Amino acid sequence: MNPLFEGGRPSKTFWRLRAFFNKQDDSRLDNILLYLQSFDRYPVMSLTTLIEGADKFNRESKWQNDRAEAKPIKKEEPLYNIDSFLEL
């Protein structure tokens, strides 16, 4: 891993990383932020691992929210009376 700062100044790695994140849309950056906030301590990971982990975290949290918000569908069966059935 290359350091982001060398001699108190931003390195080439810093500028590449900054350019990458500036090209991303806001929703992807929000997903990455939520993913990073889910950690107690930030692990060292590659950019690819970060993006894949954020996408997976977003899918799982979206699935859990959708499942929690889904209302069970009650299927109401019409009530039949045996007498009315025999009259047919």
Contact (CB, 8 A) for 36 and 57? no
- Which residues sit opposite 5 in a β-bridge? 10
Domain-located, residue 29: yes
Domain-located, residue 79: no
Domain count, the chain: 1
- Which residues sit opposite 6 in a β-bridge? 9
Q: Pseudo-torsion of CA 30, 35, 39, 42, nearest 10°?
A: -80
Q: What is the pLDDT of residues 15-73, one digit of tens each?
A: 999 999 999 999 999 999 999 999 888 888 888 999 999 999 999 998 888 888 877 77
Local structure of residue 24 (DSSP, 8 states): S
Domain-located, residue 33: yes
Domain-located, residue 84: no
Domain-located, residue 40: yes
pTM: 0.62
Q: Which domain holds residue 32?
A: 5-69
Domain-located, residue 58: yes
> At 74, is the secondary structure helix, strand, or coil?
coil
Residue 54 CB neighbours (<10 A): 20
Domain-located, residue 41: yes
